[in-house]
Structure 1
């Protein structure tokens, strides 16, 4: 195997290992997301699209070269059957071309798969973080709502207690007011009876004065 295809085969083995690491339950999506957002990968991710398209281009060129080699040696196999050595060499070169075709094809396919896996894991980690944040917000909202309900219940009890106190004060004041009215009516009736008694006494006093005046007038006439 030439150096070129040895490098591509090594890259293919690395891709297989990466796919296994990403698909096996070794780490959670959040940990993979933290790894993808590390300083080193963040530095590389700025030029990731360039590297990706360069690798795509190289693998496509290798794939086309392998297809060309396959077509070349396939045509030679169908035309040349004279020498056994030449036929064996042609079969060997055809086998190498087919091997290179599969190596470059699988490397190209796994490169696209790895890119898609990284995107899906990052999106899953983001969605998981959003779900956790929404769950924490829902929990805090539930706690807040419960505390408000408890405060509202306590406020209702307090208001009910204040209303009861005000009602008791109102009933007490009503009783005091009715008592004052009764006392006022009693004083008024007493004052009316006193006025009547005063009028009666005044009339009697006038009558007595008249009698005294008459009596004193009769006595004076007798003395003359």
Structure 2
């Protein structure tokens, strides 16, 4: 095996190991996200896409080269050459085997390279989704607690308002009773005032009558005094 295909084979073995590690069930996506957030990956991130596409191009070139070799050693011309020269049979089959081996190595390397990138992306997405779900769950719990607190506050406020309404209703009832009592007292006072006015008018009329009677008696008294004075003068 040449140096380039040895490197591709080791690259394939490394890809298999990494994919198996990525598929280990007891390592969660959050842990992989912590691993992917190391500073070294941040430093390598500007070169990651370039390295990824460069490796794809290299593996595609090697895959096409291996496919060309397989087609070359399995073509009718090669088979016809083997038939003509039987000494080339083992050599041709050895070359065909190597070409097929290289085709499988490069093909699986290319496939696992794409699978590994997709697995890393999905692990990151799962970790982000789980983190977002945890944040949403916390927000939902906080919203539920706030809603329960609002309901409790509304219940307390409603009870307070009902108590205040009851107190206000009782005060209104007492005020109505007081207003009614004051109205009755005012009515009685008005009746007493009317009665007093009537008594005053009666007393005034009686006073006027007495004054007239007094004036009449006084006039009669003066007349009697005058008559008596006149009689006394005649006797003398």
Category of TM-score, reference length = shorter chain: 0.7 to 0.9
Counterpart for residue 203 of structure 1 = 205
Note the C-alpha offset of 1:6: 1.6
**Are residue 20 (structure 1) and residue 20 (structure 2) matched?**
yes
Give 1:130 shift.
2.1
In the alignment, which residue of structure 2 is the partner of 1:139?
141
1:223 to 2:228 alignment: yes
Aligned residues: 224
Quick one: structure 1 residues 217 and 117, their matched pair in 2 at CA, closer, same or farther if it must change by over 3 Å? same
The structural deviation recorded for 1:215 is 3.0
Q: Tell me which residue corresponds to 2:121.
A: 119
Report the CA distance between 1:19 and its aligned residue: 1.5
**Closer/same/farther in 2, CA of residues 206 and 85 from structure 1, 3 Å limit:** same
Q: Report if the CA contact (8 A) 1:77-1:91 is conserved.
A: no
- CA distances 1:186-217 after superposition (whole Å, capped 9, x unpaired): 12222222222222222223333333333343
Q: Which runs of 5+ in 2 are unaligned?
A: 230-236
Q: CA RMSD in A?
A: 2.2
Alignment of 1:52-201 (within 5 A): 52-74=52-74, 75-81=77-83, 86-201=88-203
Partner SS state of residue 26, structure 2: coil
Q: CA deviation at 1:84?
A: 6.5
| Structure 1 stretch displaced more, 135-144 or 102-111 | 135-144
Q: What are the ranges of 5 or more consecutive residues in structure 1 without an aligned counterpart? A: none
Q: Larger C-alpha radius of gyration, 1 or 2? A: 2
Deviation at 1:11, TM superposition (A): 0.7
Cα displacement (A) at 1:115: 1.3
Give the CA deviation at 1:49. Answer: 1.5
Partner residue in 1 for 2:39: 39
Mapped partners of 1:68, 1:188: distance in 2: 129
Residues 132 and 156 of structure 1: CA distance in aligned 2, closer, same or farther (over 3 Å): same
Q: 152-161 or 104-113, which moves further after superposition?
A: 152-161
Q: What is the TM-score with the length of structure 2 in the denominator?
A: 0.84
Change (3 A) 1:217 1:73: closer
Partner Cα separation in structure 1 for residue 56 and residue 219 of structure 2? 157
SS of match in other structure, 1:27: coil
